[in-house]
C-alpha cells in the first residue's frame, strides 16, 4: 500500500519547499512517480551535455529523453544550447531559477518573464531579448527583473540615453562581479555608466564590452579614458575591476 492517499500527496507538493521535494523524490520511486511535477535542480539541453547529480537532467535535443520531459519544476539552473526556448516552455510547470543561460537565440520578453518570474536570478547569459515587434528590450528593463544578479552576460541589449541613469535608481541586492555586453551599437552615456559601476561593482569585478562595427570611435575613446581613470582611483587598489573593451575595425 502507498504510504499516503492522494490528497496528502497534493498537500505535500503544494506546501513543501523545493529542497524537501527534491529529497522526497530522490528517496523512493513512489515519491518520484506521484509527487508531480518532477523537481529538477538543473536542466541542460545541449549537444554535449555534462553529467550532474541525480536531481539534474542533461540531454541532447534529439535524444529520446528530451521528448519524454514534461511537467518540470526547475529550481536552480536552465541551460539551453541546441534547442529554442519555445520548445521547452510547454514542458515546464514552474520556474524558480537562479541561473539562466539561453544561447544563440532571440527571446521574447514574455518568455523571458516566464523564466525569471521567481525574482531570484543571480546569473544571466542571454542573446537578444526582444519585444513582439522584434525591437530589442532596453537593458534597464531586463535588469529591473533580476535585482539579485551578480553575473550579467547580454548580447544585443538596447541602450538609451537614460539607461544608466535608470539603472542607478535600482536597488540591486548583490554586488556585480561580471558585466558583459556584446554587439553594443547605441552610445553609452559615460558619466552615468561610470557612476553605475562605482555604485554596483564588487571586488575584482570583470567588465567586458564589445562594440558594433559602426559604434562612434569618439565615444569609445571617451569611455575608455573614463574607465582608466576609474581603475586608477579605485579603493582598495587590490580590488579594482578588470576591464576589456573591443571595438572591431569597420574594415579588416
Report domain extents, the chain.
97-247
Q: What pLDDT does 36 receive?
A: 65
Highest mean pLDDT among 21-25, 45-49, 137-141: 137-141
pLDDT confidence tier of residue 51, bands split at 50, 70 and 90: low
Q: What pLDDT does 252 receive?
A: 47
Flag whether pLDDT at 53 surpasses 80.
Answer: no
Percent helix / strand / coil, the chain, rounded to 5: 35, 30, 35
Flag whether pLDDT at 250 surpasses 90.
Answer: no
How far apart are alpha carbons 3 and 1 in whole angstroms? 6
Ranges 66-75, 149-158, 186-195: which has the least confidence = 66-75
pLDDT confidence tier of residue 251, bands split at 50, 70 and 90: very low
Would you say the C-alpha torsion 68, 71, 76, 77 has a positive or negative sign? positive
* DSSP labels, 191-213: HHHHHHHHHHEEEEEEEEEEE-T
Ranges 85-94, 113-122, 146-155, 224-233: which has the least confidence = 85-94
Flag whether pLDDT at 35 surpasses 80.
Answer: no
pLDDT above 90 covers a percentage of the chain that reads: 62
Mean pLDDT, the chain, integer: 85
What are the C-alpha distances in Å from 58 to residues 54, 139, 193, 207? 10, 30, 38, 30
Amino acid at each position: 500500500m502507498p504510504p499516503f492517499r492522494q490528497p496528502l500527496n497534493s498537500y505535500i507538493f503544494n506546501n513543501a519547499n523545493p529542497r524537501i521535494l527534491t529529497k522526497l523524490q530522490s528517496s523512493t520511486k513512489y515519491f518520484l512517480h506521484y509527487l508531480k511535477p518532477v523537481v529538477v535542480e538543473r536542466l541542460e539541453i545541449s549537444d554535449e551535455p555534462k553529467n550532474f547529480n541525480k536531481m539534474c537532467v542533461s540531454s541532447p535535443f534529439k535524444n529520446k529523453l528530451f521528448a519524454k520531459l514534461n511537467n518540470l519544476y526547475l529550481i536552480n539552473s536552465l541551460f539551453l544550447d541546441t534547442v529554442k526556448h519555445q520548445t521547452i516552455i510547454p514542458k515546464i510547470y514552474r520556474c524558480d531559477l537562479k541561473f539562466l543561460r539561453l544561447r544563440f537565440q532571440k527571446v521574447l520578453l514574455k518568455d523571458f518573464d516566464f523564466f525569471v518570474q521567481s525574482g531570484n536570478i543571480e546569473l544571466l547569459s542571454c542573446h537578444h531579448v526582444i519585444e513582439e515587434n522584434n525591437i530589442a528590450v532596453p537593458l534597464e528593463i531586463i535588469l529591473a527583473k533580476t535585482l539579485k544578479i551578480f553575473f550579467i552576460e547580454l548580447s544585443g541589449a538596447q541602450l538609451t540615453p537614460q539607461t544608466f541613469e535608470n539603472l542607478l535608481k535600482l536597488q540591486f541586492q548583490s554586488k556585480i562581479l561580471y558585466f558583459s555586453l556584446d554587439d553594443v551599437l547605441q552610445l553609452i552615456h559615460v558619466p552615468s555608466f561610470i557612476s553605475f559601476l562605482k555604485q554596483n561593482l564588487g571586488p575584482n569585478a570583470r567588465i567586458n564590452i564589445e562594440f558594433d562595427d559602426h559604434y562612434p570611435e569618439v565615444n569609445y575613446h571617451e569611455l575608455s579614458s573614463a574607465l582608466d581613470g576609474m581603475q586608477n582611483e579605485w579603493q582598495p587598489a587590490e580590488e579594482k575591476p578588470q576591464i576589456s573593451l573591443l571595438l572591431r575595425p569597420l574594415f579588416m
